[in-house]
Amino acid sequence: MLGVHEKNLPQFVYTDQINYTNHVRLFILSVFCISLLDYVLFGFFYSFSANIFTTWISICLSILFCFYCICHFSIKHYSSIRFAHKTNIAFQIICFFTGLLLGISTIIINYFLIKDVPNLSGSHILTLTALLLTSSHIIALTFLTQHVKYFFLFFIPSITPLVFSQILHRDQEHTLFYLAYYSSFFATLLCAQATFKIHQRLYQVLEKNKQLVDVAEQHNQWTEELCQQLQREVNKSKDIEAQLQFNNHLLEQKVRERTFDLTEINNSLQEHRQNLAFAHETAGIRPWEWNLENNTVGITNSHRKEVTRDSENHYSLLHKIVHPDDVERVKNTLYKHLCGQTKRYEETFRIKRPSGEWVWIHDVGQVILRNPKDETPLRMVGIHRDINQEKKDQERLKLAASVFEQASEGIFILDDSFHYLEVNPKYEQLTGLDKQFILEKQLFEITKQNKQHHHNFHLSILDTLHEEHEYEGEFQETYLSEKSCFLWIHINAVKDESDRVINYIGIVSDQTERKHQEQRLSYLTNYDTLTDLPNRFYYHQQLHQYLVNEASIQNLAVIRLNIDRFRALNELLSNQAGNELLKQVAQRLRISNIDALLVSHLSADDFAIIYEMSPLHPPINQLCSNIVEAFSKPFYIANQEYVVSISIGVAIYPEHGRQVDNLNT
């Protein structure tokens, strides 16, 4: 039938039956539910305490659940023919034992349940039996008749125990019921067989239809391929025809183009000759040609006219105008090239102009024709170019580079986006960073910006450069190398012809040592080096500021303190011990007067303390008592214990005066 192979149908039917065995798990689930329903009905009318029935139902439900799990996890192998046969055998065993469980359940309901439940009626026994078997058989007709062997393996074990028990123990009271029940068993068998036949014929019809569809699709595919092939042949013929027409047209066009090209080539050669002459004139290049066969040299002069000289006359002229230090070097280079030792002749030398000025010339040439027998040169062409200005520019660049490298200040070059383009060694030394690390980074990207005010300060510098194109200032800077310096920096913008900024050049000087010297000088001016306390000058200056600034301090006390008999003690101890005593006195005053505005050393044994008087601070009497108490403890100098006494005087502002001199006296 249209290419359908009848011998393959049984195999196709068998495969489809295997694929339909996923119905087994639905059947197991249905039997599980029927058994559970049977037990629930029994418990509803009687009691759930029947030991034998409860135990058996629990066993049945557990086994059925295991069967369901086996079916569920095995179903994924159905699509593989390799596992189909093993799975089929497993399902046959499951069907057989499921039927056997139901058969045993009917025996327990009919013969053992009455012992646990004496009041159980015969009609209820028959109802429970019929519900269990009949419902299961109907479900089996639905799910197992696709494979009739599954049905028989379930059906026969399910009814066999009941049939044999009735034969062995005849129940005269319900004989008619059992005869009807047996008839239903027989009818169920017939229905199962008929349903199986229907399914088998249906499988065969479906498989035949599937094969017919495949054959039809294959025929359609062949038809489409033939149509496509025919269309390709038609298109190919059209392409060949179009190609022939195009070739004819192209041949005609080529003839016209060839004629036009010859004209264009002639014009182009003339134009190229003019362009080359213009390029030589613009670049300062003068071509020359040396014909070694005829011993002539043709050279273009300064007026762009070609002059031909005899070789001997030309070289005698060269000996006169080439610098004496360069003559031998030029001759050797030319000789090596003529002998074939170098690919081309190239030399830089000096010639003397009619004005007497020596200028640099770059001369390049190459032998373009040699005798094929002995490789002797026959023709040589070349150019020479005036590079005197380039030499001067190179010297200036070398000088500038030397200054850049040897400068005592750090120098850097930035692009218009403030990224480093070049730095000199001094700048590397100043920052403590390598040049390769610095390049291409932004101006302040190599510095530490731990706090917001650092970042804001850097932005202000960049804004100044944007607006004014110049910045000069001094500030403290810390680099990523942990090196901290006080810098003087000056940055200028470099502009092009359009007044557009193209670069920035910065000069940086390390002012750290100068700053330290200034701080040291300031310290020496305002502090006593022996006691590390403010001196008389700083004391008078600060006291004056406190008196002038009445808005911040309205009342203050000036305490003057002297060491009793210090001169005699100093002569007794020696100057070194006396100095040590003054240091310890200063330290003790600092410790005992933490809240003081100022503790200063005015002269040898003269000290002064400035206090702000306010309700928040102790009264002045208590402060003086604290000082006296602090000096009641001995001083240890050179392993000796000394007790000194002090004299204290107090002046209150503004009660005792409003002038510095008044308060000090």
pLDDT attached to residue 148: 80
For residues 611 and 559, the answer to whether their CB atoms sit within 8 Å is yes
Residue 662 host element (H or E): helix 660-664
User: What is the spatial distance between Cα 428 and Cα 408, in angstroms, rounded to a whole number?
Assistant: 12
484, β-bridge pairs: 478
Dihedral sign computed on CA atoms, order 516, 520, 523, 525: negative
pLDDT attached to residue 419: 92
pLDDT attached to residue 238: 86
Q: What is the mean pLDDT of the chain?
A: 80
More confidently predicted of 548 and 49 = 548
| Per-residue three-class SS string for 327-338 | HHHHHHHHHHHH
In this structure, what DSSP letter does residue 108 have?
A: I
Exposure class string for 583-617: b at 16+ Cβ within 10 A, else e: bbbbeebeebbeebebbbbbeebebbbbbbbeeee
Give the architecture-level CATH label for domain 529-663.
2-Layer Sandwich (3.30)
User: What is the spatial distance between Cα 85 and Cα 70, in angstroms, rounded to a whole number?
Assistant: 15
Exposure class string for 327-353: b at 16+ Cβ within 10 A, else e: eeebeebbeebbeeeeeebebbbbbee
* Reported confidence tier of residue 617, pLDDT bands at 50, 70, 90: confident
* Residue appearing with tokens 């070059």: 413
Pull the structure tokens for residue 334: 């030319």
For residues 105 and 37, the answer to whether their CB atoms sit within 8 Å is no
Amino acid (1-letter code) at residue 205: V
List, for residues 564-602, the tens digit of each pLDDT value: 888 887 777 777 888 888 888 888 888 888 888 888 988
In this structure, what DSSP letter does residue 615 have?
A: T
pLDDT attached to residue 662: 67
pLDDT attached to residue 13: 45
More confidently predicted of 491 and 388 = 491
Would the pTM of this model clear 0.75, i.e. be above it? no
Of 93-97, 234-238, 377-381, 548-552, the range with the lowest mean pLDDT is: 548-552
How many Cβ atoms from other residues are within 10 Å of residue 74's Cβ?
19
The answer to whether domain 283-391 has CATH 3.30.450.20 is: yes
List, for residues 334-389, the tens digit of each pLDDT value: 888 888 888 888 888 888 887 878 888 888 888 888 888 888 888 888 887 878 77
Pull the structure tokens for residue 270: 């003339």
Mean of pLDDT values over 437-446 = 87
Mean of pLDDT values over 123-127 = 77
Mean of pLDDT values over 294-322 = 74
632, pLDDT greater than 80:
yes
List, for residues 3-36, the tens digit of each pLDDT value: 444 444 455 445 554 555 567 888 888 888 888 8
Tell whether omega for the bond before 654 is within 30 degrees of 0, i.e. cis: yes
Top-level class of domain 407-516: alpha beta
For 470, residues 6+ apart whose C-beta sits below 8 A from its C-beta are: 464, 490, 491, 492, 493
